[in-house]
Structure 1
Amino acid sequence: MKILVLNCGSSSIKYALYDMDDRSVMTSGGAERVGLDGAFVKVKMANGEKKQIMHDIPEHTEGVKFIFSLLTDPEIGVIKDLKEIDAVGHRMVHGGEKFNKSVVLDDEVLKVFEECSDLAPLHNPANLKGVKAVSELMPGLPQVGVFDTAFHQTMPKKAYMYAIPYELYEKYAIRRYGFHGTSHRYVSKRVCDYLGVKPEDKKVITCHIGNGGSVAAVDCGKCVDTSMGLTPLEGVMMGTRSGDIDGGAVSFIQKKLGLDADGISNLLNKKSGVLGITGISSDMREIDAASDNGDEKARLALEMYNYRIKKYVGAYAAAMGGADIIVFTAGVGENQANMRESVCENMEWMGVKLDVEKNNAIHGEEAVISAPDSKVTVVVIPTDEELMIASDTMELCGK
């Protein structure tokens, strides 16, 4: 069974074509600058060869159409006919309280999903464009929606409610939803498979740390808390996002700088975090290099960044009454040994003992990095959200 995975953003379309018989990626890539000048598509083939193709992409339907043409291209294509594609799985960002699992997309589901657009005004409309583009180009092809927020719908009310007037929840559904759910679901299950244990027997803390970052508490295979909130702004410090901040500080900044709602949102989402503290970059590799060269703000940013992750790990151990496994994943979590070491440092009180030498040797591969006598197993598990989407799509549309 061949499944195409699409992730449509406001100005981008990422894709991957899977052969689910062996769970292999036949080809993958992405269109960038959709609707803007200088649009292009990057293609990575199964043999690892990469190409960049300049192509005008005025809107998403044209982008999906061009991607379809690349899949069947005589030179770089991997299939002869689009009819070889059995289904399409879409990353859908915000399902609100409506979706707690992946679903086959039909008119009724899409109408409900569209009603959630207020909660993700940049992402949900873009996701819908991708679905509609596929429907136009290949009518009748089964499509599945996999929601970033779905995995976190098992959180108890005490964890997802905000302490604001209850009517704001009733009228506007203002509550914690959490994101990166597909990643947290994948790594919390995969780590148990890797260790040969049952998810329903374990308390797992998953740390998805990239340019955006979130931590989740997964008890017996179900999410019971997560750090992101109504939007992806809440929680740990991120590349350009502030993470947790006093609401009073937000209104204070707004008044001092004369910002409207969009202005303060832009400041907290795009100009804060690591970038805001250092003034250098949101890329942790560049911050590491600057810190090594004696930049005090870079050193401070690293300390803040790691400290906030550590706080969430400790909080979720308390919330679950302990922890059996800690997982690090995503770009920073998989590759930056110094972050993992800093988070685990002085955590012996909760049974964490890192194997520093092993930790330093691990970059992007599955590995246990805790010491043999550590009561909590610390593991690096590379995330694979696309495979999770493909797997859900196969399960719902399998022949």
Structure 2
Amino acid sequence: MDTPILVLNTGSSSVKYELVDPGTRGRAAKGLIERIGQERGRLTHRNGDDPPYVRDRPFPGHGEALDALMEAFAAAGPDLAPVAVGHRVVHGGDRFTGAALIDDDVIAAIEELSPLAPLHNPVNLTGIRLAQKVFPDVPQVAVFDTAFHLTLPPEAYTYAVPRDWRERLGVRRYGFHGTSYAYVSRRAAAVLGRDLAELNLIVLHLGNGASATAISGGRSVDTSMGLTPLEGLVMGTRSGDVDPALGGYLARTNGMDAQQVEHALTHDSGLLALAGTGDMREVRARDDDEARLALAVYTRRIRKYVGAYYALLGRVDAIVFTGGIGENDPLTRAAALKGLDRLGITVDTELNESEHRGEREVSPPTAEVPVLVIPTDEEQEIAHQTLTLLT
């Protein structure tokens, strides 16, 4: 690989990594370290087509996990000599409009923004600091989930809340899944054989976390997630849109404080609350009232956002599904777009239910608005942005 970039996605209890060549879109290796800080950790490392290198042992902290990553490359290959390390950072606030070369000022800014993403930014910083120790002479780059959405116009990102909240506390819509949207929108343009600058797209990133974004000319003009990743669509364990007065109501009637309400809406809601599981595959496998209601609520919310963004854009050149559910669940795709035929949006049953898993069109050839499935590749996008910044 001519330009190998190590991509690190550091989570609270996991590290996902890939060694990527953004020039050729090739991967030399990838891996996942799971259950960090728990009794039964696991590292799974894949070097090309070789059998996976697996180690089951505890990883008390992220430092031990990164040591294990280095051991995996040494034992199973390939040689690890990256020209740069690209890091996923969830929240860049309104300070970072793109990838940033990491220095002390960038680290301080990420730290200051941690109250906006308390579950993510601190562990993202842990990954950065550990990588700096392991690769002291290699450039480190932060790629922010929020950066893609800083093209939102003021009427899209402004909440109608007190000025002090907006100006002093940074209360506004930020949006997330930005690395996914950047990658998927470029690939959608390639599939359509058109210039991204001329396209209006509605992209639906449906996974355990889920969001919708209206993209015009490659720029985000509206998105469903807001100040935090809680707003918008129904998700695996997150509620999505609810009445803002819900917290006050629960405080008065159930004695709950703000942290308890936020925790419940983030971790105990969504599909989990409606069907007893946050895994769409398990919901799909059932045929009972709870599961049917969960699916109806989930897809109805998506359909509402598609309609709203269609009205906002005025013209839509494609609907794009991505993310684990968006890429792999044809029933969700069909249900989410049901009844939109008058808008030129429909899916072809045979194409939609095909076992093909690559980039593809699932609408009839004559459809006014193509419906695409584009597998996302956030690691490739992080590598791409890292290389672009450094060259």
TM-score greater than 0.5 by the shorter chain = yes
Q: Name structure 1 gaps, 5 residues minimum.
A: none
Task: Report the residue type matching 2:157 in the other structure.
Answer: Y
Q: Which moved more, 1:267-276 or 1:388-397?
A: 388-397
SS at match of 1:41: strand
2:231 to 220, 230, 234: 234
- The 3 A distance-change label for structure 1 pair 263 and 221 is same
Does residue 378 of structure 1 match 2:374? no
Give the deviation of 1:171 after TM superposition: 1.1
Tell me if structure 2 keeps the 8 A contact 1:61–1:134: no
Write out aligned runs for 1:238-387 (5 A).
Answer: 238-279=235-276, 281-291=277-287, 295-362=288-355, 364-387=357-380
> CA RMSD of the aligned region, Å?
1.4
- The 3 A distance-change label for structure 1 pair 48 and 344 is farther
Give the deviation of 1:238 after TM superposition: 0.5
Tell me if structure 1 keeps the 8 A contact 2:247–2:258: no
Deviations 1:267-323 (A, max 9, x none): 1011110110112x11111101113xxx10100000110110011011011111121
SS at match of 1:85: coil
Tell me if structure 2 keeps the 8 A contact 1:353–1:373: no
Partner residue of 2:211?
214
Partner residue of 1:59?
61
- Structure 2 distance, partners of 1:55, 1:104, is 34
Does residue 177 of structure 1 match 2:170? no
SS at match of 2:188: helix
2:188 to 182, 191, 201: 191
Q: Name structure 2 gaps, 5 residues minimum.
A: none
Deviations 1:138-161 (A, max 9, x none): 212111111000000000111111
Does residue 78 of structure 1 match 2:71? no
Write out aligned runs for 1:92-111 (5 A).
Answer: 92-111=89-108
Give the deviation of 1:44 after TM superposition: 2.5
Tell me if structure 2 keeps the 8 A contact 1:178–1:226: yes
Partner residue of 1:14?
16
- Structure 2 distance, partners of 1:227, 1:303, is 19
Q: Which moved more, 1:347-356 or 1:239-248?
A: 347-356
SS at match of 1:247: coil
Tell me if structure 1 keeps the 8 A contact 2:53–2:72: no
Tell me if structure 2 keeps the 8 A contact 1:334–1:363: no
Tell me if structure 2 keeps the 8 A contact 1:64–1:133: yes
Does residue 87 of structure 1 match 2:80? no
Task: Report the residue type matching 2:175 in the other structure.
Answer: G
Give the deviation of 1:64 after TM superposition: 1.3
Task: Report the residue type matching 1:78 in the other structure.
Answer: P
- Structure 1 distance, partners of 2:188, 2:123, is 32
- Structure 1 distance, partners of 2:351, 2:207, is 21
- The 3 A distance-change label for structure 1 pair 43 and 254 is farther
Tell me if structure 2 keeps the 8 A contact 1:370–1:378: yes
Give the deviation of 1:363 after TM superposition: 5.0
- Structure 1 distance, partners of 2:269, 2:142, is 31
Moved segments of 4+, more than 3 Å: none
- Structure 2 distance, partners of 1:397, 1:184, is 22
SS at match of 2:245: helix
Tell me if structure 2 keeps the 8 A contact 1:94–1:119: yes
Q: Which moved more, 1:245-254 or 1:184-193?
A: 245-254
Q: Which moved more, 1:372-381 or 1:47-56?
A: 47-56
